[in-house]
């Protein structure tokens, strides 16, 4: 008689949401630092609630915003790939709840739980695709179009459900750092988008579907060629 395969009953969500060996649930207040560039890299983090900003500081003292991480995303996974020290600084942009998983616990779970390994691999592939898209965006699109794409991503366009207001408040300085231009250019484009009805302000930035149409169909009011101000 053939034996039935053992069903994988591992619950990835429960694992990420609970405490246990090598795991802890951490609360961070707005503007509180999770870790600093140069700290020892010995844990992976998973965001349950809130948003986490990743920044990198160059040897010349210039800071750049690399990414804004949202619920359901991991960060700090470089420790699994041989990084002994953090290559970025992470700060809570709002009150956040984060699961900390030690490097050892993460490696053990990835090895022993195929279902969780699949979940983590899917995340890594999705993030890698986003990084490639960001690079292409930075190389070939104008700063105006890069800003439009960033606003769409922050509002979760393309995901199920309706677009969400961009929260918490993200300064124009941060937006400028993320797309590689100046704050004055971002201010100019934001005012332009608002006048065209592509976005609206009501205490929060709300992105209208017309902005997506403008980007997808390369409307003339969204620049096609890199503007000279980007250098």
CATH number at residue 207: 1.10.10.10
d(CA 10, CA 16): 11
User: Looking at the structure, do residues 85 and 28 belong to the same domain, yes or no?
Assistant: yes
Whether 1 maps to a domain, the answer reads no
Q: What is the pLDDT of residue 213?
A: 79
- Token pair for 177: 């750092």
User: Looking at the structure, do residues 17 and 126 belong to the same domain, yes or no?
Assistant: yes
Whether 6 maps to a domain, the answer reads no
Whether 3 maps to a domain, the answer reads no
User: Looking at the structure, do residues 112 and 169 belong to the same domain, yes or no?
Assistant: no
User: Looking at the structure, do residues 51 and 92 belong to the same domain, yes or no?
Assistant: yes
Number of domains in the chain: 2
Whether 163 maps to a domain, the answer reads yes
CATH number at residue 49: 2.60.120.10
Q: Are 78 and 34 in contact (CB under 8 A)?
A: no
Q: What is the pTM of this model?
A: 0.79
pLDDT band with cut points at 50, 70 and 90 for residue 162: low
| CA quadruple 57, 102, 49, 31: dihedral, nearest 10 | -30
Domain end, chosen from 131, 161, 180, is at 131
d(CA 52, CA 69): 5
User: Looking at the structure, do residues 28 and 115 belong to the same domain, yes or no?
Assistant: yes
Q: Provide the domain limits for residue 203.
A: 141-230
pLDDT band with cut points at 50, 70 and 90 for residue 231: very low
Segment 106-147, tens digit of pLDDT: 999 999 999 999 999 999 999 999 889 888 888 888 999 999
Whether 5 maps to a domain, the answer reads no
Domain end, chosen from 131, 154, 174, is at 131
Q: Is 128 left (phi over 0), alpha (psi -120 to 50) or beta?
A: alpha
């Amino acid at each position: 008689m053939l034996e039935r395969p053992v069903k994988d009953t591992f619950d990835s969500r429960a694992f990420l949401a609970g405490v246990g060996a090598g795991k802890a649930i951490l609360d961070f207040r707005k503007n509180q630092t999770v870790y600093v560039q140069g700290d020892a890299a010995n844990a992976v983090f998973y965001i349950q609630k809130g948003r986490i900003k990743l920044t990198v500081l160059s040897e010349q003292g210039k800071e750049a915003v690399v990414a804004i991480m949202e619920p359901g995303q991991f960060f700090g996974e470089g420790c699994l790939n041989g990084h002994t020290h953090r290559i970025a600084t992470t700060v809570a942009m709002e009150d956040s709840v984060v699961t900390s998983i030690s490097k050892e616990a993460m490696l053990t779970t990835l090895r022993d739980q195929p279902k969780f390994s699949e979940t983590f691999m899917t995340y890594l592939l999705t993030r890698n695709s986003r990084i490639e898209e960001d690079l292409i965006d930075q190389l070939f699109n104008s700063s105006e179009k890069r800003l439009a794409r960033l606003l769409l991503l922050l509002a979760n366009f393309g995901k199920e459900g309706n677009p969400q207001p961009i929260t918490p408040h993200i300064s124009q300085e941060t937006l400028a750092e993320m797309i590689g231009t100046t704050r004055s250019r971002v201010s100019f484009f934001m005012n332009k988008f608002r006048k065209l009805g592509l976005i609206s302000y009501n205490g929060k930035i709300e992105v209208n579907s017309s902005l997506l149409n403008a980007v997808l169909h390369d409307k003339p009011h969204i620049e096609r060629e890199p503007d000279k101000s980007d250098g």
